[in-house]
Amino acid sequence: MSIQNNLDYFNQQIKNTSAKLLAVSKTHSTEKILEAYQANCKIFAENRVQELVPKYEALPKDISWHLIGTLQSNKVKYIAPFISMIHSIDKFSLLEEVNKQAKKCDRIIDCLLQIYIAEEETKFGFDFEEAYQILDNHNFENLENICIKGVMGMATFTENTQQIRQEFKSLKSFFEKVKNNIHKKNINMTEISMGMSSDYQIAIEEGSTYIRVGSAIFGNR
Ligand SMILES: *Cc1c(COP(=O)(O)O)cnc(C)c1O
């Protein structure tokens, strides 16, 4: 299947749902990204700053770039001028650094808190309690150059679809809890980033607003 065909397929899958398609282009060439771009895909996600920056520089400027991988504080400055959204905020100190660099660029950067929903030990993120405490803290509003737009999560890599569904449900209900209980200028809960090539269908059914699809669009890495 061509990239164009794969994109058509996913655009069909998300039609009349809450989900938007985020094309995960990590490890793939700028040629392949351009092919997707020419098929009218304008939102891409990368997981490494070192790979994202050269792609940003080489490719058309009307692309919005999302970061979905672990971000080190000392790399924030390289993406602050252009990044559309950071899905992988996993420490409060990282959020402070994003705020600082965004201020230097006179921008407000949209961020998602990455929440640990899987049973595997290897996945990054906050637990629900930590994430809630951070947003609820009275100092949080001082971060004027970031906006928390929602949450991101990765389900356990398993064949057990019931478990995956349960993990997505838990992320959705945490999202609702924050949305209903915490009202601050720099929090605007609209996004739930969940679902990848293997589990996007369940994620859409459970209310995902961003499915992050890599291999099912671009082929295996
Ligand atoms: C690589 C990656 C994806 C996409 O994975 P595929 O299985 O290729 O669709 C989604 N989310 C994150 C955080 C990733 O690192």
Burial profile 40-67: b = 16 or more Cβ within 10 angstroms, e = fewer: ebebbbbbebeebbebbeebeeebebbb
Residue nearest to atom 4 of ligand 1 (CA): 214
Cα–Cα distance between 45 and 60 in angstroms, integer?
15
Cα-to-centroid distance, 181 and ligand 1 (Å) = 31
Biggest CA-to-CA distance, the chain: 51
Count: domains in the chain:
1
Residue nearest to atom 6 of ligand 1 (CA): 214
Q: Which residue has the tokens 């672990």?
A: 70
pTM exceeds 0.75: yes
Cα-to-centroid distance, 199 and ligand 1 (Å) = 11
DSSP secondary-structure letter at 29? -
In a 13 Å sphere around the CA of 73, the CA atoms on its Cβ side amount to: 10
Cα–Cα distance between 79 and 53 in angstroms, integer?
7
- Among 66, 67, 68, 211, the mutation site with the greatest number of ligand 1 atoms within 8 A of its Cβ is 68
Contact 36, 217 (CB under 8 A): yes
Provide block-wise average pLDDT over 10 residues at a time, the chain (221 residues): 95 98 98 97 98 98 98 98 98 97 98 93 85 96 98 96 98 98 98 98 98 96 82
At 122 the pLDDT is: 65
Region of 125 (left: φ > 0; alpha: ψ -120 to 50; beta: rest) is left
At 120 the pLDDT is: 76
CATH assignment at residue 131: 3.20.20.10
In a 13 Å sphere around the CA of 184, the CA atoms on its Cβ side amount to: 19
Burial class (CB in 10 A: 0-12, 13-18, 19+), 120: exposed
At 123 the pLDDT is: 65
Q: The domain containing residue 110 runs over which residues?
A: 3-218
Q: Which atom of ligand 1 is nearest to the CA of 213?
A: 9
Cα–Cα distance between 188 and 202 in angstroms, integer?
25
At 196 the pLDDT is: 98
- Among 3, 6, 46, 47, the mutation site with the greatest number of ligand 1 atoms within 8 A of its Cβ is 47
Cα-to-centroid distance, 213 and ligand 1 (Å) = 6
Q: Which residues line ligand 1 (CB under 6 A)?
A: 24, 26, 47, 68-69, 154, 196-198, 212-216
Cα-to-centroid distance, 8 and ligand 1 (Å) = 19
Cα-to-centroid distance, 72 and ligand 1 (Å) = 19
Residue nearest to atom 11 of ligand 1 (CA): 212
Strands (E), 19-178: 20-24, 43-46, 64-67, 85-89, 109-115, 146-153
At 22 the pLDDT is: 98
At 221 the pLDDT is: 82
Cα-to-centroid distance, 196 and ligand 1 (Å) = 6
Q: Which atom of ligand 1 is nearest to the CA of 198?
A: 7
Residue nearest to atom 5 of ligand 1 (CA): 214
Region of 40 (left: φ > 0; alpha: ψ -120 to 50; beta: rest) is left
